[in-house]
Each structure stands twice: as C-alpha cells, then as structure tokens.
C-alpha cells in the first residue's frame, strides 16, 4: 500500500460523525477502515519512493516494508547549515517518532549556535508519509526503518562532502532517532564517526550491537514515556520484541571497555526540548494512552547543552 495524504484518520472520523453515521461504534470503525483504505489507495498523490505498510495484529498498527526512500540532498525537508569562515565538524541529525518537529529544530539550533555544521531531514516526508499517521499508527521498528534508510545515506553524503570537516562526523538523535543512531554506530564503522549523542533512545526497535565509539545517552530522570507507572523508566524497560533493556545493554558495553555512559538530568522528562517540564496526557484516537513528563527546566537544558558541546569538542581530531 502506498500512502501520502493531507488528512489523517482522526479527520475522517470527525467527518463521519458530522454525517450522522453514529448508529453503532462497531459499524463506525468498519466504515472508517473502508474510507481509509479507499482514500489511501486511490486518493493519494503518487510518490516515487514510498514505503509500503503491513498491518501488525488487529488494532490498526502497521510496520513498514521496503522500498524505503533514500537520502536526497535536494529534498525540501533537508536542512544543511554551514558556519562562515571555517570548515566545521558536522552533526548528522536523526529525528524522533513524530518526524522533524519544533523540538528537533531546537536541538539542531543548539549545535549551530556553537559553531558546528548540521545536516537534518524528515524521513517521513521523503517516504511520502504523513507524520501524524506514522507517530500514531506505525510501530517503533517501522519508524526506525524509515529513519535508518535515509540516515545512512545522509552519513555517506556528509563523509563525501568537503564543504565541512568531513573527518569529524557526529551523530545526534532523539527517541526513535536515538535508537537508530545507536544501531548506526555499529553498522557504519567505515566512516570517521567521532561521537554519538543518543537522547532518550526508544526502548524498542532495532537490535543494538557492539558500539565502540564514544557515546553518551542523556535521559531526563522523569522519563517514563509510554510507561505503565511513574517508575516504569524507559531505560529499564523490556518487551517481548526487545528483551534486553537499554540499561542492560549499556552496562554490557561498559564491561567490554567501550566508551559509553548514561547522563541523567533532574527536572526533565522525555523530549527535553519540547518546552518547560510538564506532565502531559497522550491520546491514541479517543483513548488516553498514557500520562508522562515531557520537557525540561531551564537549568536542566543549560547543563545539557554544556555537557553535549563539551563531549563533542573533547572528541574532535585535528
């Protein structure tokens, strides 16, 4: 199935209600499904490289299948920024599960104001997918498929371009992007990757291997995103599809002598750059999926920036 559309399922649901089709909830769900399939199959703009979708289970969730879009430096979502007057080290940025949003821009801006070149993109747009559909209906593994195929092309592009210091390449990613770049660190060893900053990587998704590149994994101490309780922290969590927690994996890497560590921040939750620290209610459809903290205090963000920039400068090579 190819998709690329301007309206999401929630919009269609509202239209159905406005038409008075509210006799039975089961009938509405079936009708919504028919509308969605027809709209996605015949009412979408044709995109040359768009991931296919495969339904997982019976709850309207999907994973993604090849062919995936590859990195296109001319795509409208790609942002390349180079400071004037010097060949700066470059940060290749991987966005999270909601696509390239305002909090992603804030992370990229952190590096720009500190004099680093940056390369960022929206993998969902490159695949012709609506971010609201992906963030609500696609599994973590499916999201990471989309990000990974574009990200590895972006890294190859960064390594092959001398408009910046292509011998000093750093990875940065948050949430699903954070999980993707941890995976990339063990898969893209042929490139001069000097360091990885994986902010609050997702607890599920790609399998993580040996990672012998300087790496920091920052987390807000209150990060229970998508958890079942106030102590269900992302870094300790396991699932049938991801039976090894981030904490267990990272400690195993440390035992092997690999340069990787957690950094925890007080008064911070998930999505540190999403705004002031607050407890939010996250819905999936009409139901509450979970409640969790997002954002961070000003003091936490200030310390975070100092730590991240110091990490990058410490691992630069001449």
Q: Give the confidence band of 221 by pLDDT, cuts at 50, 70, 90.
A: very high
pLDDT score of 120 more than 90:
yes
Answer whether residue 3 is part of any domain. no
- 244 and 160 part of one domain: yes
| Same domain as 13, residue 77 | no
User: Is 123 found in the same domain as 18?
Assistant: no
Same domain, 238 and 275: yes
DSSP SS3 for 278: strand
Say if strands 193-199 and 165-174 run parallel, antiparallel, or are unpaired.
parallel
90 with 60, same domain: the answer is: no
* Same domain, yes or no: 58 and 204: no
**pLDDT number for residue 33:** 42
- Residue 8 in this model has a pLDDT that exceeds 60: no
- One domain, residues 166 and 218: yes
Question: What pLDDT score was predicted for residue 60?
Answer: 85
Query: Quick check: 274 and 295 in contact, CB under 8 A?
Result: yes
Which pLDDT score, from 0 to 100, does residue 31 have? 42
Q: Grade residue 283 by pLDDT with cuts at 50, 70 and 90.
A: confident
Q: What percent of the chain has pLDDT over 90?
A: 78
Confidence of residue 49 (pLDDT cuts 50, 70, 90): low
Of 42, 64, 86, the residue at which a domain comes to its end is 64
Residue 4 within any structural domain of the chain: no
One domain for residues 31 and 156: no
Q: Which two tokens stand for residue 61?
A: 């969730």
Q: Are 33 and 159 in contact (CB under 8 A)?
A: no
- Flag whether pLDDT at 116 surpasses 80: yes
Read off the pLDDT band of 285 (50, 70, 90).
Answer: low
Mark whether 48 and 86 lie in a shared domain.
Answer: no
Question: Which of 30, 46, 64 finishes a domain?
Answer: 64
Give which of 176, 201, 29 is closest to 98, Cα–Cα.
176
Q: What is the C-alpha separation between 152 and 10, in angstroms, rounded?
A: 33
d(CA 59, CA 36): 14
- For 289, other C-beta atoms within 10 Å of its C-beta total 12
pLDDT tops 60 at residue 52: yes
Section 249-272 average pLDDT: 97
What CATH code is carried by the domain that includes residue 82?
A: 3.40.50.1820
Domain encompassing residue 23: 9-64
Last residue of a domain, one of 23, 46, 64: 64
pLDDT computed for residue 58 by the predictor: 77
Q: Label residue 27 by pLDDT band (50, 70, 90).
A: low
Same domain, 147 and 103: yes
For residue 109, is it within any domain? yes
CA angle, 21 then 22 then 28, to 5° = 80
pLDDT classification of 40: cutoffs 50, 70, 90: very low
Q: For the chain, what is the domain count?
A: 2
Same domain membership, residue 125 and residue 41: no
Per-residue model confidence (pLDDT) at position 133:
92
Does 23 score more than 80 pLDDT? no
Lowest-confidence pick of 4-13, 80-89, 164-173, 247-256? 4-13
Q: Is the pLDDT of residue 253 over 80?
A: yes
What distances in angstroms separate CA 70 from CA 74, 121, 122, 256, one per listed residue?
Answer: 12, 11, 11, 34
Please indicate, yes or no, whether residues 160 and 235 belong to a single structural domain of this protein: yes
More confident site: 258 or 288: 258
């Amino acid at each position: 199935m190819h998709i690329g559309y301007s309206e999401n399922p929630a919009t269609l649901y509202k239209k159905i209600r406005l038409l008075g089709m509210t006799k039975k909830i089961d009938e509405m769900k079936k009708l919504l499904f028919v509308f969605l399939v027809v709209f996605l199959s015949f009412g979408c703009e044709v995109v040359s490289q768009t991931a296919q979708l495969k339904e997982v289970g019976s709850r309207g969730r999907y994973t993604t299948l090849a062919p995936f879009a590859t990195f296109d430096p001319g795509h409208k979502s790609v942002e390349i920024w180079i400071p004037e007057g010097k060949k700066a080290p470059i940060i290749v940025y991987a966005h999270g599960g909601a696509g390239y949003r305002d909090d992603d821009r804030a992370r990229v801006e952190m590096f720009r104001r500190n004099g680093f070149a940056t390369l960022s993109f929206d993998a969902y747009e490159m695949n012709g997918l609506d971010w609201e559909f992906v963030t609500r209906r696609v599994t973590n593994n499916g999201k990471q498929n989309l990000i990974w195929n574009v990200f590895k092309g972006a890294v190859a592009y960064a390594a092959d371009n001398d408009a910046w210091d292509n011998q000093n390449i750093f990875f940065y990613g948050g949430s699903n992007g954070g999980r993707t770049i941890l995976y990339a660190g063990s898969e893209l060893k042929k490139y001069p990757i000097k360091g990885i900053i994986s902010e609050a990587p997702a607890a599920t998704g790609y399998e993580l291997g040996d990672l012998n590149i300087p790496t920091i994994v920052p987390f807000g101490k209150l990060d229970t995103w998508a958890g079942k309780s106030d102590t269900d922290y992302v870094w300790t969590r396991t699932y049938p599809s991801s039976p090894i927690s981030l904490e267990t994996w990272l400690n195993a890497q440390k035992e092997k002598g690999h340069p990787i560590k957690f950094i925890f921040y007080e008064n911070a939750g998930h999505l540190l750059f999403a705004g002031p620290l607050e407890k939010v209610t996250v819905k999936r459809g009409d139901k509450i999926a979970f409640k969790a903290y997002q954002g961070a205090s000003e003091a936490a963000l200030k310390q975070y920036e100092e730590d991240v920039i110091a990490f990058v400068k410490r691992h630069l090579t001449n």
